[in-house]
Structure 1
Amino acid sequence: MLNAATHYSIDYPDLSLILALVRGGTLARAAALLRVDVSTVFRAVRRLEAALGQTLFEKSRAGYLPTSLASNLAQQAERAEQALEAARVGVEQGGEVISGTVRLTCTDSVLQGLLLPALAQFMPQYPALTLELSMSNDFANLSRRDADIALRLTRTPPEHLVGRRVGSVAYQVFASPGFARQHAGRELADLPWIAPDDFLPDHPTVAWRREHLPGVRPSYRCNSMLSVTELVRAGLGVAALPDFLLDEGLQPLGPALAGHDTALWLLTRPDCRALRSVVTLFDELGRYLRLP
């Protein structure tokens, strides 16, 4: 059987078949993706496995489970699919097309408050560009090459990364409008506080609270700043939040926290500057990211 694999040249329809079954997980869903009937998919898989001399899928109660070979071929199929789409877009637009996959990491609060509005303005211009988003607070994402671009709130980005400072970010104590009316006149130390848990022990808001309200013990601790924000919007208490999250659901209870501001940095690895897809996304983000 191994000899058969040496004489068979896999082609794009084969990759499309594998990708459809990996995505669908069942013959019926794969058939729907390929717009053929179930028996056609079944026979095509059997023929391809015989031609390759290797098993591509294991049948189980859950459906068709891909082997490691099928998973690897499905990844190649996705790249071929992206390349084909880029070629089609290039023909339609009559020019060079930016294509490929760029991996971007940022915090959930930066995603919600800053990144999404920016992406909505320019990403439709790049239909062949695929963006993989990862929510993280860790610079090591870039260091480990798990990401190509990072948006980070910091005063001192790592020296081994390159990038630009997008602007300053201040923090303020916020409450929901209803909570603010209900507790008007009360001291901040007497209010229920919402704060990040130990995943951000050195966060500027944590440092400020320890310095100015050392006796406060938060009533709620969350593992993300976006979760902190949502609890504040729900009227459960107050929290120190970045000013770019201010909207109609939040009301500031005082001025910016003096001495505890930070900056938003757009960062990448030096080796990524040779990749047109990364450079394009980097430049567009630098153009469209807007701070208050």
Structure 2
Amino acid sequence: MNWDDLRVFLAVARHGSLSAAGRSLGLTQPTIGRRLNAMEAQMGARLLHRTPERYILTPLGESVMQHAERIETEFLTAERIISGHDCALEGKVRLTTVDTLAARVVVPALARLQQDHPGIVVELMPDTRQLSLARREADIAIRMTRFEGHEVITRKLGTLGMAFYAARGYDAASPAARIITVMDDMAHLPEAHWLRQHYPDAPVALQSNTREAQLWAARHGMGVACLVCYRADQEPDLVRVQPELPLLRRDIWLGIHRDMRDTPRMRAVMDVMTDMVARRAAELCPE
């Protein structure tokens, strides 16, 4: 058994399906299936049991998982240490962020980065999931929540302002008004609580974790949404609802694993993001 086999096993165990494991590793579903079958055939034992819902660990698989995760930790630590001593201002940087920031904040910063450092190629991964910096699912993460763990070096980039919006002419004060909010798995977010606090009895018109979809739903008169001001204020078909309320403020945080923080290409990406958010501070939180 080699490291590539263990990576496949860990990915299927964590994600529960061949397709999701393949996406996380950049491999096709058939490839994941072949590698998993070959590994189990080599071992002469089942590590994962397929149910109608997902793959689950067998008792042997649970034991192997513990050892595989320790091997993964050691391997990734060595990889980060090696990468951390790479002095070249070139190569790939995997950056994950939320869709609220990806297109209109991160991409303009990366365009500036490419002018100065054309050898740096950024893989931009907008995702509502918190990809792991320790497992190198991403090199740099920009999130709307603080990072946890002593291995992550964090930097507050700025603040994002949010407010209630609806289509021009929509009667948001009506008892029949509806709301546009996130899916249940994201219901812990401050904007979801804020929306429900001010519209406690309003029925839900649409749930989506994609903020652009929420914006377009509001534009089409589906209900009231809590949107980022720098994006929603650009839409002539949208108006602020309850404009007397103070903005909901969400901090923007950048995180990187401590082993990677001194790599020149990582620092170049972090610096250009820091500068871009600072330059646009008044636009991002217009209060």
TM-score range, shorter chain: 0.5 to 0.7
The answer (yes or no) to whether the contact 1:193–1:219 under 8 Å persists in 2 is yes
Give the structure 2 partner of residue 276 of structure 1.
Answer: 264
Give the structure 2 partner of residue 45 of structure 1.
Answer: none
Matched, 1:232 2:218: yes
Q: CA deviation at 1:199?
A: 3.1
Give the structure 2 partner of residue 248 of structure 1.
Answer: 234
User: Structure 1 counterpart of 2:212, which letter?
Assistant: L
The answer (yes or no) to whether the contact 2:132–2:138 under 8 Å persists in 1 is yes
Q: CA deviation at 1:260?
A: 4.3
Which secondary structure does the structure 1 equivalent of 2:181 belong to? strand
Give the structure 2 partner of residue 183 of structure 1.
Answer: 170
Give the structure 2 partner of residue 262 of structure 1.
Answer: 250
Give the structure 2 partner of residue 137 of structure 1.
Answer: 128
Matched, 1:158 2:148: yes
Which secondary structure does the structure 1 equivalent of 2:243 belong to? coil
Which secondary structure does the structure 2 equivalent of 1:272 belong to? coil
Unaligned runs of 5+ in 2: 1-33, 36-86
Give the structure 1 partner of residue 183 of structure 2.
Answer: 197
The answer (yes or no) to whether the contact 1:114–1:244 under 8 Å persists in 2 is no
Equivalent residue in structure 2 for 1:217, among 203, 207, 216: 203
User: Structure 2 counterpart of 1:105, which letter?
Assistant: T
The answer (yes or no) to whether the contact 1:194–1:238 under 8 Å persists in 2 is yes
Q: 1:136, 1:202 → 2: CA distance?
A: 17
Q: CA deviation at 1:243?
A: 2.2
Aligned residues: 193
Q: CA deviation at 1:116?
A: 2.0
Give the structure 2 partner of residue 21 of structure 1.
Answer: none
Q: CA deviation at 1:101?
A: 0.3
Give the structure 2 partner of residue 24 of structure 1.
Answer: none
Q: 1:226, 1:263 → 2: CA distance?
A: 19
| TM-score under structure 2 length normalisation | 0.60
The answer (yes or no) to whether the contact 1:109–1:225 under 8 Å persists in 2 is yes
Q: Say if 1:218 and 1:206 are closer, same or farther in 2 by CA, change over 3 A.
A: same
Q: 1:106, 1:188 → 2: CA distance?
A: 36
Q: CA RMSD in A?
A: 2.6
Q: 2:132, 2:143 → 1: CA distance?
A: 11
Q: Deviation per CA, 1:153-182, whole angstroms, max 9, x where unpaired?
A: 12x33243212111122220012xxx32x2
Residue pairs, 1:1-292, within 5 angstroms? 98-154=89-145, 156-160=146-150, 161-175=152-166, 179-180=167-168, 182-183=169-170, 186-187=172-173, 190-249=176-235, 250-255=238-243, 258=246, 260-289=248-277, 290-291=280-281, 292=283
| TM-score under structure 1 length normalisation | 0.59
Larger radius of gyration: 1
Runs of 4+ in 1 over 6 A off after TM superposition: none
Which secondary structure does the structure 1 equivalent of 2:122 belong to? strand
Give the structure 1 partner of residue 42 of structure 2.
Answer: none
User: Structure 2 counterpart of 1:268, which letter?
Assistant: I
Which secondary structure does the structure 1 equivalent of 2:184 belong to? coil
After the TM superposition, which of the residue ranges 101-110 and 242-251 deviates more from structure 2?
Answer: 242-251
After the TM superposition, which of the residue ranges 236-245 and 98-107 deviates more from structure 2?
Answer: 236-245
Q: 2:212, 2:141 → 1: CA distance?
A: 18
Q: 1:265, 1:137 → 2: CA distance?
A: 15
Same amino acid, percent of matched pairs: 26
Q: 1:248, 1:269 → 2: CA distance?
A: 36
Q: Deviation per CA, 1:187-216, whole angstroms, max 9, x where unpaired?
A: 065323211112311111111122222111
Which secondary structure does the structure 2 equivalent of 1:130 belong to? strand
Unaligned runs of 5+ in 1: 1-66, 69-95
